[in-house]
Structure 1
Amino acid sequence: MVIGIPKEIKNNESRVGMTPAGVLELVQKGHTVYVQTGAGLGSGFTDGDYKKVGAHILDTIGQVYAISEMIVKVKEPIAEEYGMVQKNQIVFTYFHFASSLQLTEAMMESKAICIAYETVEESDGSLPLLTPMSEVAGRMAIQQGAKYLEKPKKGRGVLLGGVPGVPPGRVLVLGAGVVGIQAAKMAAGLGAHVTILDINMKRLRYVNDVMPPHVVTEFSNEFNIRKHVATHDLIVGGVLVKGGRAPKLITRDMLKLMHPGAVIVDVAVDQGGCVETSHPTTHEDPVFIIDDVVHYCVANMPGAVPYTSTLALTNVTLPYVLELADKGWEAACADNPCLNKGLNIIRGEVVHDGIAEAFGFDEKWVV
């Protein structure tokens, strides 16, 4: 199969769809790989690194799309790429369709085979291709939240770990999934007081077992959210509905309850956000302030640490890329139920119920 690795052109996205090590695996299996010049530079990989393992370098993103049977990338195609996606071309990437009708309609119109990293699902319900980026984003949420709590960044001026004689900052984590666990771990490591909310008691029991005593758990409902937003300095939104839009757990009126200069990091923003006042931002312009509350809503947080993120991503995507390349998408998805769940749009038809529900489409066909 001919596989293309284009350069990511989303704002400040420095990750790349595959490392040279991953390309080597594909080439050794007899596949042809085209990499756009400069695609790996943001992650620390030169064109020469890719050439050494057998990749062919192309000058433009249009050339990569035009020649490839399968496109492997990191983020969803943006408007400039819509017209480059071809009929029957496999596009394997993070799509998060439920947060963008424009993207969904564009990919339907392209008649491509859209397989989303974020909905590939193991039999135990885990999301193997989303997990490493959720781990990165969860840890980064505390890094960024701590920074934007500083007064020069318009924050409240709170040091999360406190100092002797001064209590630590308070962190509220919404969701005890991968993002939430990693955020709580980082915040606890800094010495902050952490409250983590979820509706899944099994997850809360797990958190209670593995976290130190200054991480406390509580069942998530509107009453408890309203209670805690009034007393916490940093709020991390880490909820996930597989393939669908995130629920709005923090409403506009709740901002009035919060301390001036409190910070919200909405990690769920790429799925529509779990805060009513959220909208996607970029690393170039990451925050905005509403009702004196700082909102950090970067939709591609792991893009800020591309070396770590690209290695972590290729570790988990490569086996699926190899399967798709070796067998073709139909046989690969038929043989692998986990990969089959990654199918989102097939030749213009929405085949994932999360997208269908988000936009009122009919789910017409699945493999």
Structure 2
Amino acid sequence: MIIGLPQEVKNNEFRVGLTPGNVRGLCKQGHSVLVQRGAGEQIGLSDESYRLAGASLINSATEVFSKAQMIVKVKEPQPQECAMLREDQILFTYLHLAPDPQQTKALIHSGASCIAYETVTSCSGALPLLAPMSEVAGRMSIQAAATHLEKTHGGLGILMAGVPGVAPAKVVILGAGVVGKNALQMAIGMGAEVCIFDRDIDRLRQIDTLYGNRVRTYYADPLLVEIEVCEADVVIGAVLLPGAAAPKLVTREMVKKMKSGAIVVDVAIDQGGCFETSRPTTHADPTFIVDGVLHYCVANMPGAVARTSTFALTNATYPFVEALANRGIMAALSHDCHLRNGLSVYQGHLTSEPVAKAQKIDFVSADELLAA
């Protein structure tokens, strides 16, 4: 198979979908890999390292898309990339389609077969290709909050850990999944006062067993969420409904009641965000203010630590890339129900029920298409 690796084009996105080590593995199995020049240069993965691994270096994304049978990326394709996809092509990347009807329409129109990292599952029901970036984003959310609590960055001028005689920042984390647990680890490590909400009592029990009285665990009762959010210095939005739009747990009215200078970090912004006041931002312009509350809603947070993120991501995605290359899409999807759960668009058909529900459009299940 001919596999294409284009350079990412999203604002301040420096991650790359394959490392030179991945390329070597694919080439040893008889596949061809086309790498756009400069794809990994910003994170120390030189064109020469890809060439020595066996890749062919290509000057433009247009040429990569035109020649490759499978495109491996990191972020969702931008409009100019969607326009280059074709019917006989596989796209393997993050998609986050639920809040993005324009991208959904473009991918359906392309006729390509599009598999979303974020909905590939494991035997335990976990999301193994989303988890590495959720770990990174969860940890980064506290770094971002600590920075933006500083008065010079628009915050109240609070030190996350406080000092003897002065209270630390109060941090509220909404969601105890991978993002929430990693945010919790960092917040506790920095000495903040932390509480975390979830509807999964078993998750809360695990956190209580691990951290004891260093963290307050709460069932996600809406009234209690409102009380804690309105008293917080930092609120981390870490809620995930796999493949679907994030629920709006914090309303505009709640934001109005928050402290002026408080920080919200909406890690769920890729799926539409869990604050009613959220809108996507970029690393170039990461924040905005609503009713005195600073919002940090960067849609590709892990892109800021792109080298760490690239290796964490490709450690998880490479076995699936290998399976798709070796078997072809139909055999790979038939063989692996977990990879099949990642199929979002197939030859002009939407195959994701959560996306269909979010956008109120028709879908056909992957199982039906394979049976046909």
Normalised by the size of structure 2, how large is the TM-score?
Answer: 0.98
**Is residue 195–residue 217 contact of structure 1 (8 Å, CA) maintained in 2?**
yes
Aligned-residue CA RMSD in angstroms? 0.8
Instruction: Quote the residue 1:201 is aligned against.
Output: 201
Tell me the CA shift for residue 38 of structure 1. Answer: 0.1
Instruction: Quote the residue 2:44 is aligned against.
Output: 44
Alignment pair present for 1:266 and 2:266 = yes
Letter in 1 for 2:131: T
Aligned residues: 367
Q: How is 1:342-357 mapped onto 2 (pairs within 5 angstroms)?
A: 342-357=342-357
Instruction: Quote the residue 1:363 is aligned against.
Output: 363
Instruction: Quote the residue 2:87 is aligned against.
Output: 87
Tell me the CA shift for residue 361 of structure 1. Answer: 1.6
Tell me the CA shift for residue 352 of structure 1. Answer: 1.1
Instruction: Quote the residue 1:298 is aligned against.
Output: 298
Alignment pair present for 1:311 and 2:343 = no
After TM superposition, where is structure 1 displaced by more than 6 Å over at least 4 residues in a row?
A: none
Letter in 1 for 2:173: V
C-alpha distance in 1 between matches for 2:177 and 2:42: 29
Instruction: Quote the residue 2:150 is aligned against.
Output: 150
Instruction: Quote the residue 2:186 is aligned against.
Output: 186
C-alpha distance in 2 between matches for 1:254 and 1:279: 17
Instruction: Quote the residue 1:7 is aligned against.
Output: 7
Tell me the CA shift for residue 117 of structure 1. Answer: 0.1
SS in 1 for 2:213: coil
C-alpha distance in 1 between matches for 2:362 and 2:83: 25
Instruction: Quote the residue 2:337 is aligned against.
Output: 337
Tell me the CA shift for residue 9 of structure 1. Answer: 0.3
C-alpha distance in 1 between matches for 2:89 and 2:11: 24
1:192-250 C-alpha deviation (Å, 9 max, x unpaired)? 01100001111111111112522110011210111001211000000001000000000
Instruction: Quote the residue 1:77 is aligned against.
Output: 77
**Is residue 34–residue 55 contact of structure 2 (8 Å, CA) maintained in 1?**
yes
C-alpha distance in 1 between matches for 2:142 and 2:275: 17
SS in 2 for 1:122: coil
C-alpha distance in 2 between matches for 1:124 and 1:363: 26
Tell me the CA shift for residue 255 of structure 1. Answer: 1.1
Letter in 2 for 1:291: D
Instruction: Quote the residue 1:56 is aligned against.
Output: 56
Tell me the CA shift for residue 81 of structure 1. Answer: 1.2
Letter in 1 for 2:280: P
Q: How is 1:14-33 mapped onto 2 (pairs within 5 angstroms)?
A: 14-33=14-33
Tell me the CA shift for residue 72 of structure 1. Answer: 0.3
C-alpha distance in 2 between matches for 1:127 and 1:211: 25
SS in 2 for 1:76: coil
List gaps (5 residues or longer) in structure 1.
none
SS in 2 for 1:99: coil
Instruction: Quote the residue 2:103 is aligned against.
Output: 103
**Is residue 22–residue 318 contact of structure 1 (8 Å, CA) maintained in 2?**
yes
SS in 2 for 1:173: strand
**Is residue 107–residue 345 contact of structure 1 (8 Å, CA) maintained in 2?**
yes
Letter in 1 for 2:22: G
1:129-172 C-alpha deviation (Å, 9 max, x unpaired)? 00000000000000000000110111011111010111111100
SS in 2 for 1:265: strand
**Is residue 352–residue 365 contact of structure 2 (8 Å, CA) maintained in 1?**
no
C-alpha distance in 2 between matches for 1:210 and 1:330: 43
C-alpha distance in 1 between matches for 2:78 and 2:281: 15
**Is residue 185–residue 211 contact of structure 1 (8 Å, CA) maintained in 2?**
no
C-alpha distance in 1 between matches for 2:13 and 2:210: 34
Tell me the CA shift for residue 43 of structure 1. Answer: 2.1
Instruction: Quote the residue 1:115 is aligned against.
Output: 115
C-alpha distance in 2 between matches for 1:97 and 1:179: 20
